[in-house]
Structure 1
Amino acid sequence: MNTLFFYFSILLGFLASDKPKLTINIQNIESIQGKIIIGIYSAEEGWLEKDSEIRHYRVLVSKNTEQLIITDLPKGDYAISMYHDENSDGICNLNFIGIPKESYGFSNNFKPKFSAPKFKDCKFSLSEDQEMSIKLVD
């Protein structure tokens, strides 16, 4: 019986390691209204396009730093975009020239200058449990 338990434990260990834990600390939240909308992408194709994320999360804001723990991503390369939907209208509001009016952030804390970032600018590899911080910018 103990041998069966031992093999079962090893099998569960192998299965668990197939999907590492990604912990995202969201920093610089200026107001506790609304939600943080997070999109996770796995390729350049579809990057930053609506409904092309492989995962989509909403975090209710209750303090100036929030944490999201993701356990359903297989090992691979990803990029993250997020914005603070303060008015809870479900979209990232833009000004007349297309610059976000709501705070936003990207993996690698990439800060775009004159255009949206490319997937490669925000790409990271998830192969084991990982913790990252993303600082929202205005």
Structure 2
Amino acid sequence: MGSTFSVLAWLTASAFWPLTNPAALSPETTAVNVVVSNLVSDKATLKLYFYNVKANFLVRNHYTLLKYVKPAGRTKVVYPIQLPPGEWAIALTQDLNENDLVDRNMVGIPTEPFALSNNVKPRFRVPTFDDCKFTVQGAATTVAISMK
């Protein structure tokens, strides 16, 4: 029984080791500067949704990171962030009425300002992760997004 218990204890401990190992939780990251220009409002909160999983792109509540930025009187903001290497995409909205929602019309199209990385402008279909992706690796990366 002693050896069975120690094997079970080892298996249990090793199964959770990555969750308690700081090195496993913080992979190497790269500096990314997200530059958002042409904000519609210099007061309304800007929400930046970061995705690094293709299947989750633009799926409600399936973003990898969500960051809130207050423009503080500016129509252009620079948001520095550290991201792990890989392919990423950003969707952003500006919450003009500060209701903490992305307001939409009856068809589901956002009625508040929004933009996507690579300055993709949707026309007749929802943009894909591949349309909006950029690569994070090595040296610092700048992602420029215009609201208009």
Matched, 1:132 2:148: no
Mean Cα displacement is larger for which, 77-86 or 31-40? 31-40
Name stretches of at least 5 consecutive residues in structure 2 with no aligned partner.
1-26
Task: Give distance in 2, aligned partners of 1:50 and 1:97.
Answer: 16
Measured after TM superposition, the shift of residue 65 of structure 1 is 0.4
Q: Report SS of the residue matched to 2:118.
A: helix
Query: 1:116 is matched with which residue: 113, 122, 126?
Result: 126
**Larger gyration radius, structure 1 or structure 2:** 2
Q: Report SS of the residue matched to 1:39.
A: strand
Name stretches of at least 5 consecutive residues in structure 1 with no aligned partner.
1-16
Task: Give distance in 2, aligned partners of 1:35 and 1:116.
Answer: 24
Q: Report SS of the residue matched to 1:21.
A: strand
The 8 Å contact of residues 33 and 87 in structure 1, kept in 2 or not, is answered as no
The AA in structure 2 aligned to 1:113 is R
How far does the alpha carbon of each residue in 1:15-72 deviate from its partner, in whole angstroms, 9 at most, with x for none? Answer: xx9211000111111212321111111122111112211111000122100110002x
1:9 maps to which residue?
Answer: none
Moved over 4 A (4+): none
Q: How many residues align?
A: 121
Task: Give distance in 1, aligned partners of 2:110 and 2:126.
Answer: 10
The AA in structure 2 aligned to 1:45 is A
Q: Report SS of the residue matched to 1:78.
A: strand
Q: TM-score when scaled to structure 2?
A: 0.76
Greater helix fraction, Structure 1 or Structure 2: 2
How well do the aligned residues superpose, as a CA RMSD in angstroms?
Answer: 1.7
**Identity over aligned pairs, percent:** 26
Matched, 1:90 2:100: yes
1:55 maps to which residue?
Answer: 65
Measured after TM superposition, the shift of residue 75 of structure 1 is 0.7
Matched, 1:102 2:112: yes
The 8 Å contact of residues 79 and 123 in structure 1, kept in 2 or not, is answered as yes
Measured after TM superposition, the shift of residue 100 of structure 1 is 1.3
The AA in structure 1 aligned to 2:101 is I
Counterpart mapping for 1:18-97 below 5 A: 18-62=28-72, 63-71=74-82, 73-97=83-107
